[in-house]
Structure 1
Amino acid sequence: MSDIVVSGYYGFANAGDEAMLAAMIEALTDIEPNINITVISGNPEDTRRRHGVSAVYRLNYPEIARVITKSQLLISGGGSLLQDVTSDRSLYYYLSIMMLAKKLGRPVMLYAQGIGPVQGALAQGAMRYIGNMVDLITVRDDGSYEELKRLKVTIPPIHITSDPVLAMHPVDKQIGRAILKQHGQEGVAPLIGISVREWKDWGHYKQVLAHAADLMIEELGARVVFLPMQSPDDLSVSEKIASRMKNPAGVLPGEYTTSELLSLVGNLDLLIGIRLHALIFAAVMHVPMAGISYDPKIDRFLETIGERHVGTLKTVTAESLMARIRQLWTERKQAGREREERINVLRNKAFQNAELALSLIKERQ
């Protein structure tokens, strides 16, 4: 039996990060069903309940050292852990866990990471020093690979794969249908979902989305529902946008599991997303999407599936968004074979992350 410790942004009710953890567990156990996984978490009790794995508190370094010592591999990932744009403290925290594992003589793998931007001189030096100590790196896009090259992280083997969530199996839509019914969102009219996040208290994109959502209802005869991915932050901004609309729109109030969110997205006719993993859920469930960018990771993901964002949070307009929505609306009944082929390639690459992780353990045995 293999023992693996997983470090990442888990236990904070962020649907995208919880989805990445669920996807890692699913892929690893698909290959090796008896694997023993311990997660370093901000809320160990929630992580144990939600994912059925062992968990330790992220600031309990003695306990973290104990479980790493018993393990055969530390996985750091996935997500955008190694960047200093939102916070440099988190960058140094994740690097410290990697350094601890190396000091304890354990191999370290960066698992489908979205690297950067890393801007500070000290942060770049730390990334270069510790990044070159790890044993294996997989990154989820070409941009992350280029960032590693810029940082001169060149010693470990580096593989370009894709986001772990893309390896997940599509789920039954019935669960999402029941949630929509529970909140009065059932109906025969087509359903458009919107996944948003707060960003620096900016108001422009909120007004744009409110105006565009009204146009979707009036012009396309659609129903609109807001789908929060991180509670309570996304719920608050969703309600702000809905309150600016002339027409009624639904806002789902709950905190949902990865399977429930995938099922909810599967019930949509189209998704508009600011959150990266809302867009990835749409890809997994083969739902057409329009992305609005606030971070290079959005651009990078959309490029991998042959798409482009409709604007950034600063530049998006109701006109540009509606132009893309109208285009997707006329195409949504078509097979979208080229996009599905791209997604299937990415699904195989996402599964490769788990294969490489377990191969690294076997090489060391």
Structure 2
Amino acid sequence: MRALLSGYYGKGNGGDEALLATLLQMLPSNVTPVVLSGNPEETHNRYGLEAYERMAFPSLIKALRSCDALIWGGGSLIQDATSAISPFYYGGMMSVAQKMGLKTVAWAQGIGPLHRRVTRWLARQTFAGCTRVSVRDRASASLLSDWQIPHILAPDPVWALQSKPVETYHGTSLQHGTSLQKDLSAPRVAVTLRSHPQLTPTRLSHLTRALVDFQKATQTFIVLLPFQKAQDLSIAQAMQSSLKDVSQILCLEEPQLLKGVFRGIEMAIGMRLHSLIMAASEGCRCFALSYDPKVNLLMEDLDMPGWHLANLPDDPNIISKTWIEHYANGDPLSSEKIQFLVDGALIHREVLHQALNH
């Protein structure tokens, strides 16, 4: 069986690449994956897979015709908050695949926000036609229940992604082959911010000042992790200019390494959903800076401390003192809770096996 995997792959986003890596890890062994990617050459080189340009209509149709199934692979693909086009792209492709007779699996979806009536209608029609549907959060499950569409709810699959230790970092700032753990002073705190309208220059300035004070108080080494270089690197560089000798920017492309870097981290401060999931799964204390309902849901589910960016304190001293308190007295998830979430995430693997082996 050949399965076409469709998501926001090949766009340099660490979270979406982690979803692809987890999907490949979970696919039944008898399934040959074919990937739609924003960078087919890079995807082919990384995984050794057949890959096609995701926005080239002729190659997309060619890929669909060559496959037996379409897997709509993970994350907030059906939403109209950041893109009005996204629901039509994914929904349209799924409708075409269904008309062509392919098995269609909506896998590990986070549905919404859906502000427009037409996108809600499209989403409902598309999910209703799927062979199997799995979602990663309660809000998405509630929406599907309202639409009377059968589905499975399970934790985000990235909880179950197999990580690799980061023994060397072949970046510009560390010497080739240098041991990451030896080169970067301990203890370490990771920071993952992303560009967003709610991360205003003023709020970024407050966060930077708070991080400088936090670092001085705790004597920690700050690891700045851009999850999507195009969006995050300039923010990391701006913060590092105030933390010159006590910080390092790490740009890790391979999802298993990106998750593995958190093994050597004491605490993570993150905006991006998958930075918090990866950190929590590796036993880090986490502090969230939310810009999206999906991050709010994670904070609720894990009782994770944090602020919505819109409610970020105006005083950097309050921010730094809150971080210092969490660093000193906060608890990571217990190993039992992590294992529970990993086991739960593996339900997404069962959904794939049920859909593709029957």
Structure 1 length as normaliser, TM-score? Answer: 0.88
Partner of 1:135 in structure 2?
Answer: 131
Q: Which residue number corresponds to residue 91 of structure 2? A: 95
Number of residue pairs matched by the alignment: 351
Deviation by residue 1:151-173 (Cα, 9 ceiling, x = unmatched):
x4323x21111212111123224
Q: Is the 8 A contact 1:177 1:267 kept in 2?
A: no
CA distance in 2, matches of 1:211, 1:279: 22
- Tell me the CA shift for residue 101 of structure 1: 0.7
Q: Equivalents in 2 of 1:194, 1:136: separation in Å?
A: 36
Paired residue secondary structure (1:291): strand
The 1:105/1:45 distance shift into structure 2, 3 A limit, reads: same
User: In the TM superposition, what whole-angstrom CA distance separates every residue of 1:50-108 from its partner, at most 9, and x where no partner exists?
Assistant: 22221111123333233323333211120110100001101110101101110101121
- What's the RMSD between the two structures over aligned residues? 2.5
Deviates more, 1:115-124 or 1:248-257: 248-257
Say if 1:175 and 1:263, in contact at 8 Å, map to a contact too. no
**What amino acid does structure 2 have at the position aligned with 1:15?**
G
In structure 2, the partner of 1:70 is: 66
Q: Name the amino acid aligned to 1:56.
A: Y
Pairwise CA distance, 1:18: 0.5
* Correspondence for 1:235 among 233, 236, 251: 233
8 A contact 1:3–1:36 mirrored in 2: yes
Verify the 8 A CA contact 2:97 2:104 in the aligned structure 1. yes
Whole-angstrom distance in 2 between the partners of 1:320 and 1:70: 57
Quick check: 1:194–1:224 contact (8 Å CA) kept in 2? yes
Task: Classify the secondary structure of the residue corresponding to 2:309.
Answer: coil
Q: Which of 140, 143, 149 is 1:144 aligned to?
A: 140
Does 2:164 align with 1:165?
no
Select the residue among 36, 39, 42 that pairs with 1:40.
36
Change (3 A) 1:246 1:17: closer
Alignment correspondent of 2:11: 12
Structure-2 separation of matches of 1:177 and 1:287:
24
Matched residue, 1:267: 264
1:341 has 2:336 as partner: yes
- The one-letter code of the counterpart of 2:261 is L
Q: How far 1:136 moved relative to its partner?
A: 1.5
**For residues 41 and 232 of structure 1, do their structure 2 counterparts lie closer, same or farther at Cα, with a shift above 3 Å needed?**
same
Question: Which range is displaced more, 185-194 or 76-85?
Answer: 185-194
Shift of 1:320: 5.0
- 1:37 partner SS: strand
Listed as ranges, the gaps of 5+ residues in structure 1 are none
The question of 1:153 aligning with 2:151 is answered: no
How do 1:1-365 residues align onto structure 2 when only pairs under 5 Å count? 2-28=1-27, 32-149=28-145, 152-155=146-149, 157-175=150-168, 181-182=174-175, 186-200=183-197, 202-243=200-241, 245=242, 248-252=245-249, 254-308=251-305, 310-317=306-313, 318-319=316-317, 321-331=319-329, 336=332, 339-363=334-358
Quote the Cα distance in structure 2 between the aligned partners of 1:42 and 1:178. Answer: 23
> Offset at 1:217?
1.6
Give me the whole-angstrom Cα distance separating, in 2, the residues matched to 1:331 and 1:179.
35
1:188-247: CA deviations, max 9, x gaps? 44111110011126123212221121112211111212111101321101122333x376
Q: How much has 1:34 moved relative to structure 2?
A: 4.3
Q: Deviations over 1:18-76 (max 9, x none)?
A: 11100111122xxx334310111111111111222211111233332333233332111
1:143 Cα deviation from its structure 2 partner: 1.6
Q: Specify the code of the residue in structure 1 equivalent to 2:231.
A: D
- Quote how far apart the aligned CAs of 1:187 are: 4.5
- Partners in 1 of 2:167 and 2:276 — Cα distance? 20
CA deviation string 1:270-319 (max 9, x = no partner): 110011111111023211111110001111122232324x2122222335
Question: What's the offset of the Cα at 1:344?
Answer: 1.7
> 2:230 is aligned with what amino acid?
P
CA contact (8 A) 1:175 1:260 kept: no
Instruction: Give per-residue Cα distances to partners, 1:91-137, cap 9 Å, x unaligned.
Output: 11010110111010112111111110101111112112222122221
- Please tell me the residue identity of whatever aligns with 1:292: L
Per the TM alignment, residue 340 of structure 1 is displaced from its structure 2 partner at its CA by 3.0
Q: Provide Cα deviations, 1:318-338, integer angstroms capped at 9, x if missing partner.
A: 355434423432346x7x5x5
3-state SS in 1 of match to 2:3: strand
Q: Which moved more, 1:297-306 or 1:132-141?
A: 297-306
Quick one: distance in 1 between partners of 2:196 and 2:340?
Answer: 32
Return the alpha-carbon distance in structure 1 between the equivalents of residues 290 and 357 of structure 2. Answer: 40
Segment of structure 1 superposing worse, 312-321 or 77-86 = 312-321
Gaps of 5+ in 2: none
Q: Contact 2:222/2:247 (CA < 8 Å) preserved in 1?
A: yes
CA contact (8 A) 1:224 1:250 kept: yes
